[in-house]
């Protein structure tokens, strides 16, 4: 351990992050106390299995299996999405039952539903959630819109953080709208005039927003008090949380919740230079977001949900010009810091495989949905680990027999020699539990490397 | 002039297209000719999408250009020229789901392929589909959904049509995110379309259009 962090190679950093993940601590910083020797062994085996699959140095003992749900744990426990968003203890219980019943090689924590009350306090505009635009049994869904206007590219490019705090934040949280009145901080450089900057804080609307902010902070704290112990308890039982944090592809950063899909797609023709510049401007922030989370949580996997670059959204040329260059930069930034980018390509990525192959070996984990896994293995098999892709229609209305059959064929096609993790294709809500059971059992049965 | 306008729109030259449309209005061109040209260009855009040379950015920009040109022409003409239509298609994203990108592509493609389309939007309850069927009298209904939770909503919508005694009057196609033929069976729809082109083919087949 002689070398300083900055002196380590990307390889050594990745190894160090895996080692930190393998040596969990309790909140006091002591070695985590496992509930049984089997749990301790299981914890190590699960991470090692995932690590071997990702690094491509040797095959794991068997194909790791990661069922990655959206709101399924709520349905499985007979709860509505609204209940798990508003009753944090129920959320904890449902997600715990999910992990214990399906015995996965890792989980994604129970923060997915988030604190409903918190969104209410801040009057969140970006998403509809149960009771606020969707019914109690539905998951939250993004409300497409132009949360950044077409003429605001320069503001974002010149000062991304300033744009997020002074323009975007007051726009996506209704209760924080008065923050539009707050000054830009370079105004505090000198004593002369500095007090002018603080006048808005004395005004009733801003003070109201500050109160809402404090109330929201209190609610977030209450939520984390209820669900924050989840990963620790699951670890003591042998189940690691696989995620250190998340980041985004710069194109999606713009096209999901800044300009919206339509806004960004039009910009591609109307102001392509600004779009490219803006993606360059947010790229370092996207790297920092992922690396920061990996350092804080002491593990390597950074989730990157991919949206607007799937088959059918953009042409090959547009993908190569607008989507891939900055996504690759983000992934390389993560890789150089020792992280394992975990891009999740919902929809199809069949036309993108040759392009995304251009990454160093053993550093990424791609989750695929409607992508041909045999082809993905063929094209990416030498460089990246692939995860997927049991289809949600099959898990929803198929039979356990059909699922077993699919898993067997999938492992035959994509499991050869390691570098494969069994999972669902996309995050799932209300599927049949017996089908998920069948997926896990078939993984054990057909996934052994002997 | 209208040939140049068609090319400008079809080749995604927005500024040029708008300039040409304005010049044509000022030069006294027949508004019906201008809108006819715009529609013809939409057909080309649709074909290029089918061929795989155009994607979402082009469809979205084409839709915007069509609206912009209609705005320019509007003072001259209250409504667009009547084009011969193959039949009527009722479309919407089912209850509980607010995704519209895929649905909008289908609507665009049905429209450029000569269908009269009524788009009910997103999060459409079964009853609203039923009522619209009574008023609009479509031959085809298209149900869209992105979430897995849409499977049940689609089934409920088809069931509501049965209950209202309207099921046999229409052909129902479904599509979106995770939809497959298994889901088609589950919901009781007549067919599923893998993409917008498949949706157009189904609709054409059902109304007997070439």
The ranges assigned to domains in chain B are: 2-76, 87-207
A408 shares a domain with A275: yes
Tell which of A189, A212, A227 closes a domain: A227
Token pair of A331, please? 């992934």
pLDDT at B70: 87
> Beta strands of A115-254 (E only): which ranges?
127-130, 133-134, 141-142, 245-246
Residues A338, A17 contacting (CB under 8 angstroms): yes
pLDDT at B77: 57
Please name the residues in contact with A110: beta carbons below 8 A apart, sequence gap of 6 or more.
Answer: A73, A91, A92, A94, A95, A96, A227, A230
Helices (H), A238-348: 250-257, 260-270, 272-297, 316-318, 324-336
Mean of the per-residue pLDDT values of chain A: 96
Domain of A349, CATH number, reads 3.20.20.210
Mark B72-96 as b/e (b = at least 16 C-beta within 10 Å). bbeeeeeebeeeeebbbbbbbbbbb
Cross-chain Cβ contact A261/B182 below 8 Å: no
Nearest CB to A269 within list B61, B147, B179: B61
Q: Give percent above pLDDT 90 in chain B.
A: 76
Please name the residues in contact with B148: beta carbons below 8 A apart, sequence gap of 6 or more.
Answer: A392, A393, A396, A428, A429, A430, A431, B178
pLDDT at B31: 86
Q: For residue B61, give the chain A residue with the closest CA.
A: A266
In three-state secondary structure terms, A317 is helix
pLDDT at A27: 86
CA neighbor of B120 nearest in space, from B103, B102, B139: B103
A135 shares a domain with A270: no
A370 shares a domain with A302: yes
Please name the residues in contact with A151: beta carbons below 8 A apart, sequence gap of 6 or more.
Answer: none
Region of A109 (left: φ > 0; alpha: ψ -120 to 50; beta: rest) is left
End-to-end CA distance of chain A: 35
CA neighbor of A273 nearest in space, from A315, A325, A321: A321
Architecture of domain B2-76: Orthogonal Bundle (1.10)
- Please provide residue A173's backbone torsions phi and psi, each rounded to the nearest 5 degrees: -115, 110
Question: Rounded to an integer, what distance in angstroms lies between the CA atom of residue B37 and that of residue B2?
Answer: 6
A394 shares a domain with A254: yes
Angle B6-B12-B15 from CA coordinates, rounded to 5°: 85
Predicted confidence (pLDDT) at residue B210 exceeds the cutoff of 80: no
Mutation target vs A (from B98, B122, B175, B197; most A CBs, 10 A cutoff): B98
Q: How far is B149 from chain A (nearest CA, A)?
A: 7
Tell which of A209, A227, A245 closes a domain: A227
Residues B102, B197 contacting (CB under 8 angstroms): no
Question: Rounded to an integer, what distance in angstroms lies between the CA atom of residue A110 and that of residue A90?
Answer: 11
CATH topology for B87-207 is Rossmann fold (3.40.50)
DSSP 8-state code for residue B84: P
Question: Rounded to an integer, what distance in angstroms lies between the CA atom of residue A215 and that of residue A176?
Answer: 12
pLDDT tens for chain A, residues 1 to 450: 568 999 999 999 999 999 999 999 998 899 999 999 999 999 999 999 999 999 999 999 999 999 999 999 999 999 999 999 999 999 999 999 999 999 999 999 999 999 999 999 999 999 999 999 999 999 999 999 999 999 999 999 999 999 999 999 999 999 999 999 999 888 888 999 899 999 999 999 999 999 999 999 999 999 999 998 999 999 999 999 999 999 999 999 999 999 999 999 999 999 999 999 999 999 999 999 999 999 999 999 999 999 999 999 999 999 999 999 999 999 999 999 999 999 999 999 999 999 999 999 999 999 999 999 999 999 999 999 999 999 999 999 999 999 999 999 999 999 999 999 999 999 999 999 999 999 999 999 999 996
Token pair of A197, please? 């900057």
Cross-chain Cβ contact A393/B183 below 8 Å: yes
Question: Rounded to an integer, what distance in angstroms lies between the CA atom of residue A24 and that of residue A30?
Answer: 9
Q: Tell me the residues of chain A between 129 and 158 that have a Cβ less than 8 Å away from chain B.
A: 133-135, 137-139, 141, 143-144
A423 shares a domain with A333: yes
Token pair of B198, please? 């498949």
A342 shares a domain with A245: yes
CA neighbor of A245 nearest in space, from A384, A127, A339: A339
A312 shares a domain with A430: yes
CA neighbor of A104 nearest in space, from A237, A269, A276, A221: A237
Q: How far is A286 from chain B (nearest CA, A)?
A: 24
Tell which of A195, A227, A259 closes a domain: A227
Token pair of B105, please? 């592509």
Q: Token pair 């209300």 is at which residue?
A: A430
Look up the domain containing A321 and give its range: 5-112+230-446
Residues A143, A133 contacting (CB under 8 angstroms): yes
**At B148, is the pLDDT very low, low, confident or very high (cuts 50, 70, 90)?**
confident
CA neighbor of A149 nearest in space, from A4, A305, A267: A267
Burial environment of residue A30 by CB neighbours within 10 A (0 to 12, 13 to 18, 19 or more): exposed
pLDDT at A217: 98
A94 shares a domain with A139: no
Q: How many CB pairs under 8 A join A and B?
A: 89
Residues B199, B175 contacting (CB under 8 angstroms): yes
pLDDT at A15: 97
Question: Rounded to an integer, what distance in angstroms lies between the CA atom of residue B91 and that of residue B107?
Answer: 7
- How many CB atoms neighbour CB A304 within 10 A? 23
A156 shares a domain with A35: no
Token pair of A151, please? 């003429």
Question: Rounded to an integer, what distance in angstroms lies between the CA atom of residue A177 and that of residue A170?
Answer: 4
pLDDT at B79: 52
Residues A301, A243 contacting (CB under 8 angstroms): yes
Residues B54-88: pLDDT tens digits?
Answer: 999 999 999 999 989 988 887 655 555 556 788 99
- Count of structural domains, chain A: 2
Cross-chain Cβ contact B183/A137 below 8 Å: no
Contacts of B60 in chain A (CB under 8 A): 261-262, 265-266
Residues A53, A66 contacting (CB under 8 angstroms): no
List, in sequence order, every residue forming a beta bridge with A406; answer none if it has no partner.
Answer: none
How are beta strands A141-142 and A127-130 bridged, if at all? Answer: antiparallel
Cross-chain Cβ contact A397/B185 below 8 Å: yes
A221 shares a domain with A243: no
A77 shares a domain with A24: yes
């Amino acid at each position: 351990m002689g070398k300083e962090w900055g002196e380590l190679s990307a390889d050594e950093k990745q190894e160090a992050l895996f080692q930190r993940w393998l040596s969990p601590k309790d909140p006091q910083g002591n070695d985590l106390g496992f509930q049984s020797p089997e749990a301790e062994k299981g914890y190590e085996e699960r991470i090692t299995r995932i690590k071997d699959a990702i690094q491509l140095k040797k095959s794991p003992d068997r194909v790791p299996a990661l069922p990655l749900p959206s709101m399924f744990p709520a349905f499985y426990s007979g709860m509505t999405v609204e209940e798990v968003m508003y009753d944090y203890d129920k959320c904890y219980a449902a997600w715990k039952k999910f992990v214990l019943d399906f015995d996965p090689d890792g989980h994604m924590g129970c923060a997915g539903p988030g604190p409903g009350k918190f969104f209410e306090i801040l009057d969140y505009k970006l998403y509809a959630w149960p009771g606020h635009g969707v019914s109690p049994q539905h998951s939250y869904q993004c409300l497409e819109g132009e949360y950044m206007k077409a003429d605001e590219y320069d503001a974002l490019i010149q000062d991304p953080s300033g744009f997020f705090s002074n323009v975007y934040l007051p726009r996506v949280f209704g209760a924080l709208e008065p923050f539009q009145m707050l000054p830009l901080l370079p105004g505090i450089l000198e004593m002369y005039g500095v007090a002018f900057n603080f006048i808005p804080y004395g005004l009733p609307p801003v003070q109201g927003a500050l109160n809402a902010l404090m109330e929201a902070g209190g609610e977030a704290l209450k939520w984390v008090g209820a669900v924050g112990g989840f990963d620790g308890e699951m670890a003591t039982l042998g189940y690691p949380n696989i995620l250190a944090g998340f980041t985004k592809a710069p194109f999606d950063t713009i096209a999901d919740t800044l300009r919206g899909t339509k806004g960004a797609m039009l910009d591609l023709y109307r102001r392509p230079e600004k779009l490219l510049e803006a993606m360059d401007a947010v790229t370092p922030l996207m790297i920092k977001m992922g690396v920061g989370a990996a350092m804080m949580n002491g593990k390597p996997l950074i989730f990157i949900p991919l949206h607007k670059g799937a088959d059918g959204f953009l042409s090959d040329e547009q993908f190569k010009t607008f989507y891939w260059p900055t996504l690759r930069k983000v992934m390389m930034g993560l890789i150089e810091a020792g992280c394992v980018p975990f891009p999740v390509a919902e929809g199809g990525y069949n036309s993108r495989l040759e392009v995304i192959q251009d990454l160093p070996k053993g550093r990424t984990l791609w989750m695929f949905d409607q992508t041909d896994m045999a082809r993905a293995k063929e094209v990416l098999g030498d460089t990246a680990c692939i995860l997927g892709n049991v289809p949600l229609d099959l898990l929803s209305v198929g039979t356990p027999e059909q699922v077993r059959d699919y898993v067997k064929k999938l492992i035959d096609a994509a499991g050869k020699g390691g570098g494969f993790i069994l999972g669902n294709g996309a995050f799932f809500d209300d599927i049949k539990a017996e089908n998920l059971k069948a997926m896990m059992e078939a993984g054990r049965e057909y996934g052994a490397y002997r | 002039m209208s040939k140049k306008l068609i090319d400008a729109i079809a080749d995604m030259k927005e500024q040029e297209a708008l300039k040409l449309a304005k010049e044509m209005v000022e030069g006294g061109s027949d508004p019906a000719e201008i809108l006819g040209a715009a529609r013809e260009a939409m057909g080309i855009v649709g074909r290029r999408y089918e061929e795989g040379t155009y994607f979402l950015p082009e469809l979205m920009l084409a839709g915007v250009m069509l609206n912009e040109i209609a705005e320019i022409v509007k003072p001259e003409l209250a409504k667009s020229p009547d084009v011969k239509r193959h039949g009527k298609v009722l479309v919407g994203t089912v209850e509980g789901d607010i995704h519209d990108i895929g649905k909008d592509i289908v609507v665009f493609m049905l429209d450029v392929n000569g269908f009269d389309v009524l788009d009910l939007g997103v999060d459409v309850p079964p009853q609203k589909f039923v009522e619209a069927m009574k008023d609009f009298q479509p031959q085809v209904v298209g149900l869209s959904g992105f979430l897995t939770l849409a499977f049940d909503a689609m089934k409920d919508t088809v069931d509501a049509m049965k209950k209202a005694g309207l099921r046999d009057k229409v052909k129902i196609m479904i599509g979106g995110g995770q939809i497959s033929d298994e889901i088609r069976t589950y919901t009781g729809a007549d067919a599923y379309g893998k993409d917008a082109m498949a949706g157009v083919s189904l609709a054409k087949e059902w109304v007997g259009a070439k």
